[in-house]
Amino acid sequence: MTLHAYLVEDSPVIRENLVDFLEDVIDAHVIASASTADEALEWLRDHKSDWDLAIVDLFLQRGNGLAVLNACRQRSPHQKVVVLSNYATADMRLRSQQLGADAFFDKSAELDQLVAYCATVRPSHG
């Protein structure tokens, strides 16, 4: 079954590459994306149950991914939120976990781990 993924990433090039990667490698369908925290928060508010996996970058055009993580705290148990960032410090990993991230991956070095993680996420639809 295809995962419904929501992507929060401000770089158009990275966003496009991630969409292709997710759809080709993970059998995910990126149903929407945002480049600012406000866009992400609005979409999440209006589409509470439409996604299985949210992939969030920490640094956005406006705002940051930490606000998005915080907004995802009231999600359904099957919905998973992961951080995908170049800023993979121990402090950021801990802060993301404290805000409810299910996993944290370094954009430049941990895409294989992201693929493995996505294989464990169960779609909610049939």
- Give the tens place of pLDDT for each residue, 87-119: 999 999 999 999 999 999 999 999 999 999 998
Instruction: List, as own/partner pairs, every contact residues 105-113 make where C-beta atoms lie below 8 angstroms and the sequence separation is at least 24, other chains included.
Output: 107/14, 107/57, 111/21
**Alpha-carbon gap, residue 82 to 118, rounded angstroms:** 10
Percent share of the chain, pLDDT over 90: 89
9 pLDDT band (50/70/90 cuts)?
A: very high
Predicted confidence at residue 125, as pLDDT, reads 64
| pLDDT at residue 57 is higher than 90 | yes
Nearest to 57 by CA among 91, 38, 75, 83: 83
Phi, psi angles (nearest 5°) of residue 111: -70, -30
